[in-house]
Structure 1
């Protein structure tokens, strides 16, 4: 069996992903139920909320890609960064699914630098607000300042609805922009 059953009842083939099988409802549902940091936060904090925060930190023209930057995790799960760097096969699957997501939503596969920076700002803020206190230096966060705002984690249902609404809003904006 090479597929997973999604929340909308689709059989999503992980070995041969199909852009037509990508569904915003599946992405919203799954990311809202995936906890960041492999669940080691002080309280539940979803990948969906993280993606919404990243989208808030980028210019309007990059918000759709920012919302979707972790969307492959809806189909693969969230793997910790250190392990992801060592498992090249995982990166292949993540890239293949990312390309199908980009095809489905008509976005460029190469994420702009502002999304990478926003992702790190969100990470610095998450570390400050949601993780146990630890004096270790995270090399990827050297020189990155967290947001001023404090993150208050959303329950999964709120994360799903908020993420889905923001995704639909951005899709409508993109549709209007491309039609103009």
Structure 2
């Protein structure tokens, strides 16, 4: 078996992903139930909320990419960064799925620099607000300042509803922009 059963009842093939099987409802539901940092936060904090935070930090034209930058995790889960760099097969599957997500939502495969930068600002903010204190330097955060606002963690239900609404709003904006 090469597929997973999604929340909407679709059989999503991990090795031959089909862009038509990618559903915003599945993404919203799954990301709202995935905890960042493999669950090692002081309280539950979802990938969906993280994606909304990243979207808050980018210009309007990059909000859709920001909301979807971790959408592959809806299908293959989240993997901690130190392990992910050693898991080449995981990276291949993630790339295949990202390609289909980009096709489905008409995104460029290369994330805008603003999204990559916002992802790091979000990480610095999450470290400050959600992680246990630790004096170690995170090399990827050297020179990155956290956002001034503190994070208030959302429940999975709040994360699902908020993320889904923001994604649908952004898809409508993109549709109108392309139709103009």
Correspondence for 1:102: 102
Secondary structure of the 2:78 match is coil
Distance 1:135 1:118 in 2: 23
Structure 2 residues not aligned, in runs of 5+: none
Unaligned runs of at least 5 residues, structure 1: none
**Under a length normalisation based on structure 1, what TM-score does the superposition of the two structures give?**
1.00
Counterpart for residue 48 of structure 1: 48
Q: Counterpart of 2:12? A: 12
CA deviation vs aligned residue, 1:25-69 (integer Å, no higher than 9, x gap): 000000000000000000000000000000000000000000000
- SS of structure 2 residue aligned to 1:4: strand
TM-score (norm 2): 1.00
- Per-residue deviation, 1:127: 0.2
RMSD, aligned α-carbons: 0.3
Distance (whole Å) between structure 1 residues aligned to residue 160 and residue 50 of structure 2 = 12
Q: Specify the SS of the correspondent of 1:48.
A: helix
Residue 161 of structure 1 corresponds to 161
| Aligned residue in 2 for 1:3 | 3
SS of 1:136's equivalent?
Answer: coil
